[in-house]
Amino acid sequence: MRVKWIIKYIILTGLLFPLLMMIGWSITSGWSWPSLIPQGFTFRAYSYVLEPTTGVFKILINSMILSIVVTALTLLVSIPAARAIAFYDFKGKSVVKVLILLPLIVPMLTVAMGVHLRFIQVGLANTFWGVVLIHVIPGIPYGVKILLNVFELNGNKIETHARILGASPLQVIRYVTLPLITPGLIIAGSIIYIASFSQYFITFLIGGGRIVTYAMFLFPFVESGDRTMASALSIVFILSITLVLFITEKIVGNFYEKSSRYYV
């Protein structure tokens, strides 16, 4: 038992230590090796974040909206795709599984360059929806893979029984399918949201600098070596993701509790 507790504390320390260091850097005017004590304290970073004229929260909200839209669209594509792969046999099924994972195998830079040329032709370059669509591409493998495992574990017997007992297709989806895959939706949606919110290069390439996300706003401070500003903005980054995921889990969890009635 003592060994298990020691391992738990080591893991917890490893997870919390970087965050605590980030909090410390965000309120110091200078804190470099080998000094154990900061040279001074300052709240200039948080003053900058809270200053309305800097536009930090406007960019943050826009990024959250963009990532939520990306998550919704990706899940809309992933659910039927994962269900079809799980429950139907067709020629080239194994090939389709590999093709779905290509955005994770092929460097996203290569994909984005080709997509960018096409987006210029159809007028999606430097637009909100262009950025949304390019974010959907790396999100699909996560959504399909996670939901595929969920569908395979749950099977389709309950859906079949519901249809036999007279449930309409919409009722099957509403009262059977969605409640069954809700845990998978939460996990897949969380990963997709984080991946979208964290994208920098493909957003810069497709958005052309006109669509500014929080990751794009944060990156110059990290690159400049200003630990105080970079740490404060990174903390806001972490808190915003945590807040959205918490709210999403609560909303979907309430839906799951209210919808846990089956037509069987």
Per-residue confidence (pLDDT) for residue 14, from 0 to 100: 83
Per-residue confidence (pLDDT) for residue 36, from 0 to 100: 65
User: 162, 264 in Cβ contact below 8 A?
Assistant: yes
Q: What is residue 29's DSSP assignment?
A: E
Q: Residue 259 has which token pair?
A: 């919808």
Alpha-carbon separation of residue 41 from 27, 44, 45 (angstroms) = 6, 9, 11
With the C-alpha atoms ordered 97, 169, 157, 188, is the resulting torsion angle positive or negative?
positive
Q: What is residue 82's DSSP assignment?
A: H
Q: Residue 78 has which token pair?
A: 């992933």
pTM of the model: 0.83
Share of the chain above pLDDT 90, in %: 31
CATH of 44-258, one of 3.30.460.20, 1.10.3720.10, 3.40.50.720, 1.10.10.10: 1.10.3720.10
Q: Report the run of H or E that residue 73 belongs to, with start and end.
A: helix 56-87
Q: Given pLDDT bands bounded at 50, 70 and 90, which one contains residue 129?
A: very high
pLDDT above 90 for 110: no
User: 21, 36 in Cβ contact below 8 A?
Assistant: no
Q: Given pLDDT bands bounded at 50, 70 and 90, which one contains residue 264?
A: very low
Top pLDDT among 17 and 123 is at 123
CB atoms within 10 A of CB 239: 11
pLDDT above 70 for 100: yes
Per-residue confidence (pLDDT) for residue 195, from 0 to 100: 92
In the block, tokens 């493909």 appear at 202
Per-residue confidence (pLDDT) for residue 69, from 0 to 100: 96
Q: Which of 22-26, 41-45, 206-210, 249-253 has the lowest mean pLDDT?
A: 249-253
Share of the chain above pLDDT 70, in %: 91
SS3 of residue 43 by DSSP:
coil
Give the C-alpha separation, 56 to 233, whole Å: 9
pLDDT above 50 for 223: yes
Q: Given pLDDT bands bounded at 50, 70 and 90, which one contains residue 263?
A: very low
- What is the per-residue pLDDT across 38-63, written as a single tens digit (0 to 9) for each? 677 778 888 888 888 888 889 999 99
Q: What is residue 37's DSSP assignment?
A: S
Closest CA to 70 of 203, 249, 177, 242: 203
Give the C-alpha separation, 190 to 244, whole Å: 9
Longest dimension (CA), the chain: 73
Question: What average pLDDT does the structure give for the chain?
Answer: 85
Mean pLDDT, residues 81-100? 87
SS3 of residue 97 by DSSP:
helix
Mean pLDDT, residues 114-140? 92
Q: φ, ψ for residue 198 (rounded to 5)?
A: -90, -5
pLDDT above 70 for 166: yes
SS3 of residue 62 by DSSP:
helix
Top pLDDT among 225 and 236 is at 236
* Beta strands, E only, the chain: 28-30, 40-41
Q: In the chain, what are the domain boundaries?
A: 1-42, 44-258
Residue 65: alpha-carbon gap to chain centroid: 12
